[in-house]
Amino acid sequence: MKTRSKTKTPASSKTQPPKYIFVVGGVISGVGKGIAASSIGTLLKARGHNVTAIKIDPYVNVDAGTMNPTEHGEVFVLDDGDECDQDMGNYERFLGTTLSRTNYMTTGRVYQTVIEKERNFEYKGKCVQVCLHIPLEVIARIKKAQKSAQADVVIIEIGGTVGDYENILFLEAARMLKIENPNDVAFVMVSYLPVPSKVGEMKTKPTQHAVRNLNETGIQPDVILARSNTSLDEKRKEKLALFCNVRADRIISAPDIESIYDVPTNFERDNLGNILQEVLGLQDKHASTLRAWKTFFDTAKKYTKEVHIAVVGKYFDTGDFVLSDSYISVIESLKYASYGRKVKPVLHWLNAKEFEVYDKKKLSVLKKYDGVLVPGGFGSQGVEGKINVIRYVRENKIPFFGICYGMQLAVIEYARNVLKLIGAHTREVDPQTTYPVIDILPEQKEKLAKKEYGNSMRLGAYKAVLKQGSLAERAYKTREISERHRHRYEVNPLFVETLASKDLQFTGTSPDGTLMEIIELPKEVHPFFVACQFHPEFKSQPFSPHPLFTAFIAHALKKKAAL
Ligand code: GLN
C-alpha cells in the first residue's frame, strides 16, 4: 500500500472551477457582439484571469474559408490554419492571445464530427439524435478549448440572434452546461434598442421580447448590454429590469462610440467586470490593469500628426461598411503601427478598377499619399489596376507594402516592366501565360482538380528565414520568423533566378529555400518596396504592432518629412 504523502493539498485542488460566459444577441445581429465579448474578456484579463474566447457561427459551412468577404467580412486565419470569422481576430487582438481551431465552431463543423463519430461506431449502437448529441458535442468542444488554454474563464459568443432557428442547439448546449454547473455559467445578452425617428425615444419592447425568446430556451440572462445610438436612461433601465427579470444595476448602457477600444472602458464604468465576477463567484486576482489599456488608446486619440496611406483593392464599390469589414485586420494593423510612431493614420481607399490603363496623369494621384498598400485578394478583377499602381509607386519611389496577392502582383509587374517578360502573369488569372511567374502550389493542383475548395490553400503559420542585412531582417530584428498564410499560388521556383537577376531580392524564404516569402528592392533603388506572401495583419496586436507594418509606416513618415 502506498504511504500517504505528507505534502499539503496541491493548490490546484483548491482552485476555482472554470467559468463560462455566453454572449448572445437580441433583436438584430451586427450590433457588436464580437466587440462586446472581446471587451468582457479584456475586463477579466485585466483582473488577472486567464481568459479564452470561442466563436460559434450557426451556418452550415464548415469554416469561413468558402465565404465571400464582401458578404461575411474578412476571413481570419489562425496559426493552425483554421479559416474563421473576423471576430476571432478581435479576440486575439483584445486579449493579446493566440487561439486555435478548438475556439471556433460552426453548425457544419459540429455535425461533421458527430457524423464521423457515428460512422466510427463511437456511439456504440445508440440512436444518435440531433437533440442531445449535437449539444453534447458543442459542450465537449467548449471544455476542450478551456482545457487547452487552461482558462479560468471561457467567453462563448453565439452568432446570430436569439429566436433564430439556427442557433437553437447552441443555446440548448449553453442551458445544459448551466444545469451541470449552476454557479459557473453566466449569460450576457447584447440587445438592440431602437430609437424610431418619428417617435424620438428609445424603445425597450423588442428587447423584452428577445429576453422572453431566450427564456423559452430555458435561459435567463444575468446581464443585458443595451446597444443603441444613445445612452440608456434610468426610466428605460427600470422598465427593462422589471420586464426582463434582470437587476437594474446589471443592465449596462452600451451606446455607439467612435472607437471599439473604448468599449472595455465604458463597460468598466458601469461596473461590468465586478458584476460578472459577482455572478460567477470570482475575485480579482490582482488590481485591474485596465488603466494601461485606457491610457494607450486615449493617448492615441490625441495624435495630430497624420500619415496618409492609400489602400488599393477591388471590393470598394459596395460601400464603407463592406470596406471596414473585409479588411479589418489590415486596418487595425495600420492603426497599431501608426500609434507606435505616435501618429494618426488616415486611410484612403482606392478602387483598382480606376487604374486599369497605365495613365500617368491619373496615377499621379498616388504622389499625394505617404505610402501605398496592396492587400490580399483573389481572381482577375482589378488586377491590371493594381499592377499599374505598383509600377507607378516603384518608378516614383513611393513607399509600397504588398500583402499576399499584393506581393504576387508586384512580382508580375517587375517581370513585365523591368525584366521585359511581356505577358508575365499568375496562372490564377491567365492559365496560358508564357511566363507563369506565379504558379499554383503543387499540392494545391490536385485539390482544385477534384473541386476540393474547402481548406484547400496553404494555410496557417509557417516558418521563414530572412536574409542577413535585408530591410526585412532589420524590421524584425531576427532572422527566423513565423507567419500566417492563406494562398494557393506562389512565386514559380522556375523563375526565381530570372526574377532575382536584377534589383529584386527574395529576402525571406521557407527554411528549405523553396518558397519565396518576402521580396524587396534595395534601399539604393527604392526607399521602401517590400511585399510578403503571408498575412502579417493576422498577427498584429495593439501592444505589439507587426514589424513590417511598423517599418512601412516609418518609411511613409520619412517620405512625408522629405516633402
Ligand atoms: N489569390 C492568391 C493566391 O491564392 C493570393 C491570395 C491572397 O491574397 N490571400 O495565391
> pLDDT by residue (tens digit) across 333-356?
999 999 999 999 999 999 999 999
Question: What CATH number should be reported for the domain whose range is 16-107+143-296?
Answer: 3.40.50.300
Q: What's the pLDDT at 9?
A: 40
Of 549, 545, 147, residue with least CA distance to 347: 549
C-alpha cell at 488: 494557393
From 84, 244, 404, 532, active-site residue: 404
CA nearest ligand 1 atom 6, residue: 487
What pLDDT score does 106 carry?
Answer: 94
Nine-digit cell string for 520: 524587396
Question: Exposure of 427 by Cβ count < 10 A (0-12 exposed, 13-18 middle, 19+ buried)?
Answer: middle
438, 411 contact by CB (below 8 A): yes
Atom of ligand 1 nearest to the CA of 377: 8
Query: Ligand 1 test: best mutation among 488, 517, 537, most atoms within 8 Å of CB?
Result: 488
Burial of 200 (0-12, 13-18, 19+ CB in 10 A): exposed
> Phi then psi for 247, rounded to 5 degrees?
-55, 140
- Strand stretches in 340-419, DSSP E: 344-351, 371-374, 400-403
Q: List the residue whose alpha carbon is closest to atom 1 of ligand 1.
A: 378
Q: Is 56 exposed, middle or buried (0-12, 13-18, 19+ CB in 10 A)?
A: buried
Task: Determine the topology of domain 303-562 in CATH.
Answer: Rossmann fold (3.40.50)
The pLDDT score that the predictor gives to residue 313 is: 87
CA of 409 to the centre of ligand 1 (A): 10
Q: How far is the CA of 320 from the centre of ligand 1 (A)?
A: 23
- Annotated catalytic, 404? yes
Strand pairing report for 83-84 and 76-77: antiparallel
| Dihedral pair phi/psi, residue 502, rounded to 5° | -115, -125
In terms of phi and psi (left: phi > 0; alpha: psi -120 to 50; beta: otherwise), the region of 27 is: left
Decide whether any atom of ligand 1 lies within 6 Å of the 489 Cβ.
Answer: yes
d(CA 64, CA 84): 5
Task: Give me ligand 1 centre to Cα 399, in Å.
Answer: 22
Tell whether ligand 1 has an atom less than 6 A from the beta carbon of residue 404: yes
- CA distance linking residue 438 with residue 318, whole number of Å: 29
Pairing of strands 400-403, 458-466: unpaired
Owner of C-alpha cell 481570419? 76
Q: What is the mean pLDDT of the chain?
A: 92
Low-confidence ranges of the chain (pLDDT < 70): 1-14, 70, 315-324, 447-455, 563
Distance in angstroms (rounded) separating the CA atoms of residues 217 and 52 = 25
Helix, coil or strand: residue 211: helix
Fold match flag (16-107+143-296 vs 303-562): yes
Give distance in angstroms: CA of 543 to centre of ligand 1: 28
Cα separation, 422 vs 431, in Å, equals 15
The neighbour count for residue 220, using CB atoms within 10 Å, is 14
Contact 542, 336 (CB under 8 A): yes
In sequence order, which residues have a C-beta less than 8 Å from that of residue 235 and are 6 or more positions away?
none
CA of 225 to the centre of ligand 1 (A): 39
Which residue from 375, 391, 449 is spatially nearest to 424, judged by alpha carbons?
Answer: 391
Helix (H) or strand (E) holding 435: none
* Residue 377 CB less than 6 A away from ligand 1: yes
488 lines ligand 1 (CB under 6 A): yes
The reply to whether 84 belongs to the active site is no
Beta carbons within 10 angstroms of residue 180's beta carbon: 10
Tell me how far the alpha carbon of residue 114 lies from the centroid of ligand 1, in angstroms.
Answer: 32
Domains in the chain: boundaries = 16-107+143-296, 303-562
Alpha-carbon gap, residue 275 to 272, rounded angstroms:
5
Residue with CA nearest ligand 1 atom 9: 376
Whose CA is closest to atom 7 on ligand 1? 376
| pLDDT for 317 | 56
Cβ–ligand 1 contact at 49 (below 6 Å): no
C-alpha atoms less than 13 angstroms from C-alpha of 39 in its C-beta half-sphere: 24
**Minimal-distance CA residue to ligand 1 atom 5:** 405
DSSP class of 17: P
Please name the residue that has the C-alpha cell 517578360: 421
Ligand 1 mean position, distance from CA 123 (Å): 41
Spatial separation of the C-alpha atoms in residues 76 and 249, rounded to whole Å:
36
| Strand ranges in 453-524 using DSSP code E only, listed in sequence order | 458-466, 480-487, 489-491, 505-509, 516-520
Count of Cβ atoms closer than 10 Å to residue 233 Cβ: 12
Angle between helices 234-244 and 205-216 (to 10 degrees): 20
* Angle in degrees, 0-180, between the axes of helices 383-395 and 405-417, rounded to the nearest 10: 70
Q: Which atom in ligand 1 lies closest to the alpha carbon of residue 379?
A: 1
Residue 407: HSE in the Cβ half-sphere, 13 Å Cα cutoff: 27
The sign one gets for the Cα dihedral 555, 557, 558, 559 is positive
- Retrieve residue 167's grid coordinates: 442557433
Whether ligand 1 lies within 6 angstroms of the CB of 405 is answered as yes
DSSP helix/strand/coil, 276: helix
Catalytic residue among 137, 537, 546, 555: 537
- Grid coordinates in use for 561? 518629412
Q: Give the residue, by CA position, lying nearest to ligand 1 atom 3.
A: 487
Question: Catalytic site residue 535?
Answer: yes
Contact 364, 447 (CB under 8 A): no
Asked whether the CA dihedral 515, 521, 522, 527 is positive or negative, the reply is negative
Is pTM beyond 0.85 here?
Answer: yes
